[in-house]
Structure 1
Amino acid sequence: MKKLQIKYIAIILSLIIFASCSKVLDKQSLVNSNADQVYNDSATAVLSLNYIYTQNLPSWFGNGSVSAIGSAGPCNLTEECRSDNIYVKGTVTQETVGDIGTSNSAGTNYGKIRAINQFIQDVNAGTINSGTKNRFIAQALFWRAFRYFELVKLYGGVPLVLKPLPAVGSAAKAAAMVPRSSTTATFQQIVADLDTAINYLPPNWSAVDYGRITKGAAQAYLGRVLLTWASPQFNPNNDVNRWQAAYDASTAAIATLSANGYGLYPKEDVTMWTTEGANSDGTPKNPEAVMVTEYNPATDANGMANNNYTNATLPKYIGTSGGSTQPTWDEVQAFPMADGYAPGSSPNYTYNPQTFFLNRDPRFYQTIAYNGCSWPVVGNANYRLWTYYYYTKANGTATKSTETSASSTGFYCRKAIDPNISASNLMYSGTDWMEIRYAEVLLNQAESAAEIGHLGIGQEAYNNLIAIRKRAGILPGTNSMYGLQTGMDQTQMINAIMFERQIEFAYEGRRYWDLRRRNLLEGTLNGKMRQGLTIVLNNTGTASDYALLTRDASSGNTNASLAAYYLANFSVTPVNVDTYPIDYQTADHFFGIPTAALQNNTALIQNNTWGGSFDPLQ
């Protein structure tokens, strides 16, 4: 489903290609074509299926094209990054989140669901052999479940449309007046679609079809769905049966995935993101990549093209558009020490905010780019990042940044930045987005296991945390607990798992949704003013341009030598980058239905937290 530089030499060759999910395919919608011309031949029906993939595959950070949260940037809604937005201000209105659709368009959630339903109906009516037909429909059902899950997370229950409605005329208008199903019924439909998909999907596809939804990916996604259904946002009375269902789903996913070449990538570095594709037998080259959105390294006329992540994330002064993902001082300090203990509580390492980068969890160095760090980028293996300020007047009354467009926090995100992309190709990154990593499946299982009482050492909660910390490179310690407390009770274990998710999935768009589903947004973030770090070169009382200091030679090539350089040359000061404290609204646990949607479909009822009578907890 990416990067295949295929030339259309002959029609017969293209027919072979049609059977794959390659992004060189012309993924045009065929839902309005003559069904007999399309759905009696798998080579043409797959074109319509490929269109469904292109319409629904999430982009970087898990964002979708119709997502209000995606537009705001999930990282900006937590302590990971900072932006001025109405969510953290607490000024969300019922008009804010329009994902349910306020107009009739193929690009809305229901427009996409219509295309999926049309595909399912037409494939069922066609004469394609039953095995191929079932695999086609299974993939479409996965994407229908995906779309409804995106909606139910935001609003609670939504109208369930399971067949294509009339497109035009008074009958179409009447048919579109579909009332909201209960939240329970919506989740039940999502689960039913995923169960059917799981039944017919293969554990792996052929190498040319890498990127299609597999049985294990559908099971892992079911685990994510049921974990959300069991979480406090939807389960205030803590029905343990929901946690058991979530545990069973993730356990089944792990069994399928581990039997078919999936598992934790052996090390946590950039190659976990840049290792892509499948082996000749269809097993993934990257075992971590359970569900991926593939990208081409250059724009083409068909399907998903290059992503903008690298160009938008690297510092602007090296020729990018960017620096759009800037870690806060809050997130920088959250990372554990090298032994897995929190900064300030480690028995092995003293934490000094002045030299914050010393002896940290190895994931810190793969995630956070900081002043003075060695950061190979744009083909320069010796590149070193500098973000400090220096005095331009001898009396210390004026400062200037070493950057032409300075980071507002003093940091940059370096996760998944391919060091081999040249400056001329920054806009054409082909790095795939991993929507589901194997690590998530382990942590989903760990959380649900803890909630049903599997808390002992040797059970899933401990085992999965240890596996992820071991892969990260945290030191085992004399007790081989990788910094974890022994004998944790349920509350302590859940807190440990949520913390591990914060670190492991930093800047992957997961944090906001995790805090939301556990009703932790207000308790974790309200009242907080996010901070950055201002680093200033010490003033020596002269009028020299201190940016000309031989920084690379003076700072050395190790963190210890850089730390000595910091202590001798820099002052380090946390500063607020927010101008107001975060103030999430309780009503945002389920967003309001926009006025236009209510007017377009008079059968819709507003949520009870926004003046209506619909209870999203039923």
Structure 2
Amino acid sequence: MKFSYKFLAVCCATLALTSCKDVLDKTDLSSTSGDLIFKDSTLSQMNLDYIYDQNLPTGIATLGPSTPSVTSLTDESFGESKLLEGTLLVNEVSDFGTALSATNNYGKIRVINMFLSDVKNGSLPQATKNKLRGQAQFFRAWRYFDLVRLYGGVPLVLTPLAAVGVEARDAAFLPRNTTAESFAQIVKDLDSTIASVPGKWASSADWGRITKGAAAALKGRVLMTAASPQFNPSDDQTKWQAAYDANKQAYDLLTANGYGLHASFDQLWFQEVNNPEAVFLTGYNTSTGDQTKKNNGYDNATRPSYNGTGGGSNQPSWEMVKAFPMLDGKKPTESTKYAYTDQLFYKNRDPRFDKTIAYNGVTWPLNGNTANKVWTYFAGGKTVEAKASNTGFYARKAINPTAAIGDVQYSGTDWIEIRFAEVLLNLAESAVGVNKLDEAYTQLKAVRKRAGLEAGTDGLYGLKANMSRTELFDAILYERQIEFAFEGKRFWDLRRWKLIEKTLNGTRRTGVTINLKTTGVPADFATTRDNVSLDLAYTNYFTLVFKQLDTKYAINWKPEYYFFAIPQTAIDNNPKLIQNTTWGGAFDPLK
């Protein structure tokens, strides 16, 4: 990422002093007025960059401080949670914000609203104002979407509220807007962004700034959520049409500006400027300096532990491992060309399998070692790893293979929140919603072709011919599960389709312990294993033992979790807030 939101706002302000002497000469920075700041384009831009820094997604999301990453709330991975245990309390999804804080959703919205107001009232040229405001409106839409998909309709605060006095306090007691009104405001902000920002920024120094296509893609995601069963249980076709129109607009804007699928499914994470797949992203750098450092923590947290680095998080479950298709695009239980067995689970799989899942014996270039092999087996009851994988597997997506051990903690790999592949699959899903089934096939085939699946004699890349609307919806959700594994999308997909109970309830996720046999194994296996055929090793030397990861409870997601409770502490602070009907209140989140 190239532009200045990589740096902390304080650092930005300090660095800018030398170039803004005409504005800041002999000025007390602690009390600088908005009138002074927002007649200078450099200072206005620094304020906008602070909004970027505060609002860009930092990786796989959580649902507040008491919940794990959303990857752990699905069949992708494993993590204990009150949501899956079925014991969630009313205050425990606290993204709503229950205190005065600059870091909760409404605290961030306040900063955005102040920026929008000050830019509007400033003396910059109108075209500059529009461009600045358009980017800020994107992030206000982003914040409100985060709230609405959790709770349903929320109070829409679109201007800075006064902060002091009894009257100001009373004016801040706002009721919840309806869910429909909330979605409409999100769309309105994104439409303003689309009208105000470029389709592609001219300078590489602006790589990562919000574009027309990014705003349209988020609009497509928002309206597809609004059309999904969570918000649209009656399958209202007007909602699917709105979603289709938005995703078609995103596709058209992005392709017109040079966006498209990256040639490589795994290497797409490591190209920054002019990466055709990166629609909406968070930029990171490799700096070790305290004032300029903005490193990506996902890489170090996810890779296996080696010499004190790597946390081994986001470990794939056996359910995720088995989910991948075979090389012909058919599910393991459906392929007639490639036989599947649990013992040789890695053979003839979708090419995305090896690029997403690291398993015992796989060659995985890591820490600068291009010949590195990962071994996760147990010998004599003891792991051969410094720290054993709990599931037997690791996620390898977006892990930089060339980073040296000492540099891993300073990873600069950008996090891509919206990829062009998502735009294609969003368009496919919304096309199915309006019965444009052939168009859905087109987008699905494009994603599968890039993945490297065999086209087959029918050119369908393993897709069933002549699928019904219901079958195509299922096929797209399945494709999303594979394509976006460990990108934080699976939880939201299952939730908006209200499929968490069907997918998880009553089950316990599974891991694998791979044991080295006690007989028939060469005495020097530990030193020669890198040169042994993997098929031979798995057939003759290893046994697979399956274990339950959810040991404390069977999963028990409850229907009321499709709209979380407004925290009671927020209601205590604002008597005009009404609780959701599913949590004992009178507010209907479907209206």
TM-score (norm 2): 0.94
CA distance in 2, matches of 1:313, 1:479: 39
Structure 2 counterpart SS, 1:354? coil
Provide closer, same or farther for how the CA distance between residues 125 and 12 of structure 1 changes in structure 2, counting only shifts above 3 A: closer
| Change over 3 Å in CA distance of 1:220–1:3 after alignment to 2 | closer
Matched, 1:448 2:430: yes
Structure-2 residue corresponding to 1:368? 357
Offset, 1:124:
0.5
Verify: 1:491 aligned to 2:464, yes or no.
no
- d(CA) in 2 for partners of 1:70 and 1:199? 39
Residue segments in structure 2 that go unaligned for 5+ positions in a row: 21-28
Partner of 1:569: 541
Q: How does 1:132-531 map to 2 (within 5 A)?
A: 132-205=128-201, 206-269=203-266, 271-277=267-273, 284=274, 286-302=275-291, 305-391=294-380, 399-455=381-437, 459-531=438-510
2:23 corresponds to:
none
Q: Is the contact between residue 2 and residue 204 of structure 2 (CA under 8 Å) also seen in structure 1?
A: no
CA separation in 2, counterparts of 1:194 and 1:482? Answer: 35
Give, in angstroms, the shift of residue 308 of structure 1: 1.1
Question: CA shift at 1:79, angstroms?
Answer: 0.5
Shift of 1:69: 7.9
In the alignment, the residues of structure 1 paired with residue 403 and residue 527 of structure 2 have an alpha-carbon distance, to the nearest angstrom, of 29
Change (3 A) 1:325 1:32: farther
Change (3 A) 1:504 1:11: closer
Going from structure 1 to structure 2, the CA distance change for 1:238 and 1:11 (only over 3 Å counts) comes to closer
Structure 1 runs of 4+ with >6 Å offset? 3-8, 10-14, 544-547
Of residues 559, 565, 573, the one that matches 1:586 is 559
1:389/1:537 contact within 8 Å kept? yes
How far, CA to CA, are the matches of 2:520 and 2:258 in structure 1? 62
**Which amino acid letter does the alignment assign opposite residue 407 of structure 1?**
S
> Counterpart of 1:23?
none
Determine if contact 2:66/2:92 at 8 Å carries over to the other structure: no
SS in 1 for 2:281: strand
- Partner residue, 2:35: 36
Distance 1:548 1:376 in 2: 19
Instruction: State yes or no: 1:124 paired with 2:96.
Output: no
Residue pair 1:165, 1:176 contacting (<8 A) in 2 also: yes
- What is the SS of the residue equivalent to 2:544? strand
C-alpha displacement at 1:267, in angstroms? Answer: 2.0
- C-alpha displacement of 1:545: 7.9
Q: What is the SS of the residue equivalent to 2:369?
A: coil
Counterpart amino acid of residue 585 in structure 1: K
Residue 52 of structure 1 is matched in structure 2 by 51
Shift in CA distance, 333/85, structure 1 to aligned 2, threshold 3 Å: same
Over 3 Å counting, the alpha-carbon distance change for 1:3 and 1:126 in structure 2 is closer
Q: Deviations over 1:139-187 (max 9, x none)?
A: 1111111100000000000011000001122122111101101111111
1:104 matched residue in structure 2: 100
Aligned equivalents of 1:131, 1:37: Cα separation in 2: 19
Matched, 1:540 2:519: yes
Q: 1:546 to 1:534 in 2, by over 3 A?
A: farther
1:319 Cα shift? Answer: 2.8
- The alignment's C-alpha RMSD in Å is 2.2
Letter in 1 for 2:463: L
Q: Residue deviations 1:100-143, cap 9 Å, x none? A: 11100111110100000000111010100000000001011111
Letter in 1 for 2:165: G
- Equivalent residue of 1:536, what SS? strand
SS of residue matched to 2:343:
helix
Relative to structure 1, is the Cα distance of residues 3 and 189 closer, same or farther in structure 2, using a 3 angstrom cutoff?
Answer: closer
Aligned partners of 1:187, 1:235: CA distance in 2, in Å? 13
User: How far 1:404 sits from its partner (Å)?
Assistant: 2.1
C-alpha offsets along residues 325-378 of structure 1, whole Å, 9 cap, x if unaligned?
110111000000011010032121110110100000000000000000001100
Deviations 1:542-563 (A, max 9, x none): 9x9877352112x2xxxxx311
| Residue 574 of structure 1: how far off its partner (Å) | 1.8
Q: CA deviation at 1:451?
A: 1.2
How has the CA–CA distance of structure 1 residues 487 and 514 changed in structure 2, closer, same or farther, with 3 Å as cutoff? same
CA contact (8 A) 1:537 1:546 kept: no
| 8 A contact 2:498–2:562 mirrored in 1 | yes
State which drifts further: 316-325 or 521-530. Answer: 316-325
**Whole-Å Cα distance in 1 between the matches of residues 286 and 40 of structure 2?**
31
Q: For 1:13 and 1:360, how far apart are their aligned partners in 2?
A: 56
Cα offsets for 1:233-288 (capped at 9, x unmatched)? 0011111011011001110111110011100001212x2100111xxxxxx2x100
The Cα shift of 1:89 comes to 0.8
Cα contact 2:3–2:207 (8 A) shared by 1: no
In the alignment, the residues of structure 1 paired with residue 244 and residue 17 of structure 2 have an alpha-carbon distance, to the nearest angstrom, of 45
Among 578, 584, 588, the alignment partner of 1:605 is: 578
Structure 1 stretches of 5 or more lacking a match? 17-29, 278-283, 392-398, 556-560
Is the alpha carbon distance of 1:196 and 1:3 closer, same or farther for their aligned partners in structure 2, counting shifts above 3 Å?
Answer: closer
Instruction: For 1:386, give the aligned amino acid.
Output: W
Match of 2:218, SS state, is helix
| Equivalent residue number for residue 395 of structure 1 | none
How many pairs align? Answer: 576
Distance 1:409 1:432 in 2: 27
8 Å contact kept, 1:31–1:115: no
**Cα deviation code 1:21-74 (max 9, x no counterpart):** xxxxxxxxx99740121001111111111111001000112x37xx42895101
Identity %: 50
Deviations 1:518-569 (A, max 9, x none): 1111111111110011111111299x9877352112x2xxxxx311221011
- CA–CA separation in structure 2 for the residues paired with 1:70 and 1:208: 38
Contact 1:254–1:441 (8 Å) recurs in 2:
yes
**Alpha carbons 1:390, 1:546 under 8 Å: kept:** no
Q: Work out whether residues 39 and 124 of structure 2, in 8 Å CA contact, stay in contact via their aligned partners in 1.
A: yes
SS at match of 1:311: helix
TM-score, length-normalised on structure 1? 0.90
